[in-house]
Amino acid sequence: MHTVTIEAPAKINLTLDVIGKRSDGYHELETVMHQVNLYDRIILEARPAGIELATNSSQIPLDQENLVYKAALVILKKYQPGAGVKIYIEKNIPVGAGLAGGSTDAAAVLAGINYLYDCRLSRQQLLEMAAAIGSDVAFCLSGQYYQPRPGVLLGQGVTAVARGRGELLESLPARFIPYILIVKPDFELSTAQVYSELDLESVEQFPDTKSFLQVWNKGDIINISVYMANVLESVSIRKKPEIGIIKSRLMETGALNALMSGSGPSVFAIFSDEEAACRAYRVFKKDYREVYLTSSYSRSEAVASKRNPINYGD
């Protein structure tokens, strides 16, 4: 097989708590991440040498700055020295949005090169490489799972509590959230800057992660919205008040709850019924270019393809 196509889904943070600052400059996290049905498509083509990037987007770099490039370099250098790859990124996930668009592409490239060159790396080896590339990459990689037919990799749609820098994962039972509306305002936020401006003393609402997990484990999708909270929200809203306005407007349209994802600026809302979700979509579409009515990421093909798990070598 000389090419492989991989779906790389975005994530939202259903909760995000910062426990403290670490000596390495990162923050100790406890966050529930959930993959949604908004995905980039990555196509890899085996090449005798070099790493070449192409995309349909004008917003992402095509050099070493791109996490995808870093991921390809790390895995090829270590496990397939001398070989190259051409990477096409079909960008559908908004960039600089708090939805892990760059991280999920990097994770897809790790899983894809492992498959393309039959490296047979264990999931643990891939997860370690992922964590070294970026804090969200390990979570994204943990969703890369199924090979429904030769040359195609699909995820299984994961939800996990991420701790540490974000790389220590505890997977949670699969739950399907049917109506998720994501609104991405027309600006980007720097994750590093948002974290650097976080003052834990002044945070008003910390998530109750324990209660969230109890409700999640019971499968009570309506009530998870009660426990959604993100400590980075106040920092990002201070920098960009429009995030707070989007959140209030989403609540006015009948959302069960609305929350900023990651360090922002995307805000997502959960709805209990299709009609309210579609109405809200139409309202926001008048004012924003990047509005997505989606759901949890889940692939029915994944069930059939359990017979063909990716050969991870473990």
Residues recognised as catalytic: 11, 136
Which residue from 96, 98, 134, 185 is in contact with ligand C5P, where contact means CB under 6 A?
134
Q: How far is the CB of 29 from ligand C5P (least distance, A)?
A: 5
Residue 88 is a binding residue for ligand C5P (CB under 6 A): no
How far is 21 from 201, CA to CA, in rounded Å? 12
Which residue from 41, 86, 165, 279 is in contact with ligand C5P, where contact means CB under 6 A?
165
Q: How far is the CB of 314 from ligand C5P (least distance, A)?
A: 25
User: What is the number of alpha carbons within 13 Å of residue 242 lying toward its C-beta?
Assistant: 13
Nearest Cα to Cα of residue 256 among 237, 244, 273, 242 = 273
Find the part of the chain contacting ligand C5P (CB under 6 A) among 34-42, 119-127, 191-199, 223-231. Answer: 191-199
Site string for ligand C5P, 195-234 (x = CB under 6 A): x---------------------------------------
How far is 251 from 227, CA to CA, in rounded Å? 15
Nearest Cα to Cα of residue 13 among 210, 243, 259 = 259
Which residue from 166, 185, 207, 262 is in contact with ligand C5P, where contact means CB under 6 A?
166
Say if CB 160 and CB 32 are below 8 A apart: yes
Residue 192 is a binding residue for ligand C5P (CB under 6 A): yes
| Beta carbon nearer to ligand C5P, 135 or 234 | 135
Residue type, 159: T
Residue 176 is a binding residue for ligand C5P (CB under 6 A): no
Site string for ligand C5P, 17-46 (x = CB under 6 A): ---------xx-x-----------------
| Beta carbon nearer to ligand C5P, 79 or 195 | 195
| Beta carbon nearer to ligand C5P, 70 or 175 | 70
Q: How far is the CB of 26 from ligand C5P (least distance, A)?
A: 4
Residue ranges in contact with ligand C5P by CB under 6 A: 26-27, 29, 134-136, 165-166, 191-192, 195
